Structure 1
Amino acid sequence: MNNLILLAVCFLAGMLLRRSGRMPLSAPAVLNSFIINVSLPALTLLSIHGMQLTSGALLPASMPWLHFALAAAFFLMVGRVMKLPRATVGALILTGGMGNTSFLGLPMIEAFYGKAGLGYGIMVDQFGSFMVLSTLGITVAGFYSDGAPSAGAILKRIVLFPPFISLLAALLLIGVDYPSWLTAVLQRLGDTLAPLALLSVGFAFQPGHLAGNGSRLALGLGFKLILAPLILALFYVYGLGAHGFSAQIMLFEAAMPPMITAGIIASEHDIDPPLAGLMVAFGVVFSFVTLPLWRLVLGGL
């Protein structure tokens, strides 16, 4: 509950700072740059390093990959039918295809399922969401920002993406003990991600952006909060026979609102920043209604 209060306070603080004029309008760009280049790599180095790579992590970790593929297929199809702008499709794929499985997901799991569910949530987040963000997410961002980059350009963008570099380093360093001072430094830097991200989202949030974006926002959040979790639940439960506590946690994570970092990447690459910001902000708000309902639905697994 403390984590949820922290997120709400930081989001509201960002809104108030914008209204007060105490921070320059360029503040979100600076905050986002720090998050991508410092906070997220530090958190990755710390979190992945402590994970156990076991076969039991494969099923939960597969969900974010399938979720992203489902979002790409859905929004590409709907984009053609509705003749949506290219940037809009890119923003919807990024924010509709990746969930907030860590900063909102883990506190929600603890609130609804207890601490026993956190291990499964971490598997989904670290082996799934983080890796999707560092590979497919940055690939889509490069494609929709640069037009049609070459395979070499996409590969270069992935390889030079700081969270991806830290992901590889963390995997290579599994089994190597960090010195206590390094663990402490990474912990402090990683802890800045959630508050700075919500502060940035709150600062950049402008309800006026709803004008002209209402239908697109409804489309994106309808998919992310309702349709995608439903399709994934049908696939895993009836297609793969997934049941029990771990399946509940995995599918509960699938119902999380858009990943904050995905919205930041969309803004960093100038991929319909207003819509990306709305998806993240309103997604968090609406999830406080949809997640309890999903908890009831998934309780029978």
Structure 2
Amino acid sequence: MKLLELYAPLIGLVLLGFILGKKLPANIPVYIGRFLFWLGIPISILVFLRQADLSGPIWVAPLVAWLAILLGAILAWWWIGVSDRTNPIWSRPTQGSFLLAATIGNTGYLGYPITLAFVGSQYFGYALFYDLLGSTLGAWGLGVALAAYFGGSGQNYRQVLQAIAINPSLWSFGFGLGFRQVLLPNLVETMLLRLGWAIVALALILIGMRLSKLDSWHNLPRASISLGIKMLIVPLILGSSLAFFGITGATGLAIVLQMSMPPAFATLVIAEAYNLDRELSVTALAVGSGGLLVTLPIWLWLFN
């Protein structure tokens, strides 16, 4: 029953966004996405960072994030090699999209609200460190490098470094660490917390709006394999290893939830920018977002 209570707002907000995405002009999700990227998500980071407990082994989160990215890439590359020997029809753009879908997770727009809903704001710091120092750097660093290699275009390192440097979430993270020490009246704290949750709700609505625009269901077998690597195998292997380092309970669950997120929308942006297999990226996004409802109870049962 508690799982259903937590699912209700998550599914309801995404479904609302899906309906709105069908009704509203196509440029509305673009404007909402820009607002969340430049202002909304940074504000929510400031708000929930004030509630987070950073006294534990917070450094574990980005370390696990990079291990998950590398393990996903290794498994995906192994699968490409095995299947290519039996059925050699993998183009280089398809290989690139497959690798991106198996490595880069939606730990910001989707991982934040999922972690807050199932674990609470006290452990938000683990999700934050996982996303900003792991997934974000992985997407615009290693992810772009892979896309440039498999897309056949030259790597522009200046653009990659610029995209990382101007990321407002990273700046908000740095500012938020100092803002934690500022005492505010209870009324202001309450208003900020409500604003943070409103931004979380808007992010879930945006996910639904973007999913409403995805109409490609080709390459389902390949997308399913990449999702199996990203959302099942990697979290199971690394999540089970956390106990050996004393990372258990809500802390371990917060990290596992981030690991098990479906592919990020950044994978589609990168695929389009570097001429990879857009249809495979779209299919992985759509199937992964829906499959999350099935995989979440698994991780709650194993690691809660």
Query: Cα 1:243–1:38, aligned 2, differ >3 Å: closer, same or farther?
Result: closer
Match of 1:205 among 205, 211, 214: 214
2:95 and 2:25 map into 1 onto residues whose CA distance is 27
Query: Cα 1:34–1:140, aligned 2, differ >3 Å: closer, same or farther?
Result: farther
| Equivalent residue runs for 1:45-124 within 5 Å | 45-79=46-80, 82=84, 83-86=90-93, 89-90=96-97, 92-93=99-100, 96-98=103-105, 99=107, 100-109=110-119, 119-120=122-123, 122-124=124-126
SS of the counterpart of 1:205?
Answer: coil
Query: Cα 1:101–1:16, aligned 2, differ >3 Å: closer, same or farther?
Result: closer
Match of 2:249 among 222, 234, 245: 245
The RMSD of aligned alpha carbons is 3.5
1:224 and 1:16 map into 2 onto residues whose CA distance is 28
Match of 1:129 among 128, 131, 145: 131
Query: Cα 1:232–1:86, aligned 2, differ >3 Å: closer, same or farther?
Result: same
Q: Is the Cα–Cα contact under 8 Å of residues 38 and 189 in structure 1 kept in the other structure?
A: no
Q: Which residue of 2 aligns with 1:149?
A: 155
1:34 and 1:86 map into 2 onto residues whose CA distance is 31
Query: Cα 1:31–1:170, aligned 2, differ >3 Å: closer, same or farther?
Result: same
Residue 197 of structure 1, CA deviation: 2.5
Q: Which residue of 2 aligns with 1:288?
A: 293
Q: Which residue of 1 aligns with 2:11?
A: 8
Query: Cα 1:184–1:251, aligned 2, differ >3 Å: closer, same or farther?
Result: closer
SS of the counterpart of 1:191?
Answer: helix
SS of the counterpart of 2:54?
Answer: coil
Query: Cα 1:80–1:183, aligned 2, differ >3 Å: closer, same or farther?
Result: same
| Equivalent residue runs for 1:215-234 within 5 Å | 215-234=221-240
SS of the counterpart of 1:10?
Answer: helix
1:183-237 deviation line (CA, Å, top 9, x unaligned): 369537633543332232332232xx112x2122111211122211122134334
Match of 2:260 among 256, 263, 266: 256
1:183 and 1:151 map into 2 onto residues whose CA distance is 38
Query: Cα 1:191–1:11, aligned 2, differ >3 Å: closer, same or farther?
Result: closer
SS of the counterpart of 1:57?
Answer: coil
Residue 24 of structure 1, CA deviation: 2.4
SS of the counterpart of 2:261?
Answer: coil
- Structure 1 position 176 matched with structure 2 position 186: no
Residue 51 of structure 1, CA deviation: 3.4
Q: Which residue of 1 aligns with 2:169?
A: 163
2:72 and 2:14 map into 1 onto residues whose CA distance is 26
Residue 86 of structure 1, CA deviation: 3.1
Residue 11 of structure 1, CA deviation: 2.9
Q: Is the Cα–Cα contact under 8 Å of residues 68 and 93 in structure 1 kept in the other structure?
A: no
Query: Cα 1:150–1:198, aligned 2, differ >3 Å: closer, same or farther?
Result: closer
Q: How many residues align?
A: 281
Indicate the percent of aligned positions where both proteins have the same amino acid.
Answer: 17
Match of 2:141 among 124, 130, 139: 139
Structure 1 residue ranges without an equivalent (≥5): 110-114
TM-score (norm 2): 0.74
Q: Which residue of 2 aligns with 1:112?
A: none
Letter in 1 for 2:49: I
Q: Which residue of 1 aligns with 2:242?
A: 236
Residue 158 of structure 1, CA deviation: 0.6
Letter in 1 for 2:113: F
1:149-174 deviation line (CA, Å, top 9, x unaligned): 34433222210122222222223434
1:89 and 1:204 map into 2 onto residues whose CA distance is 22
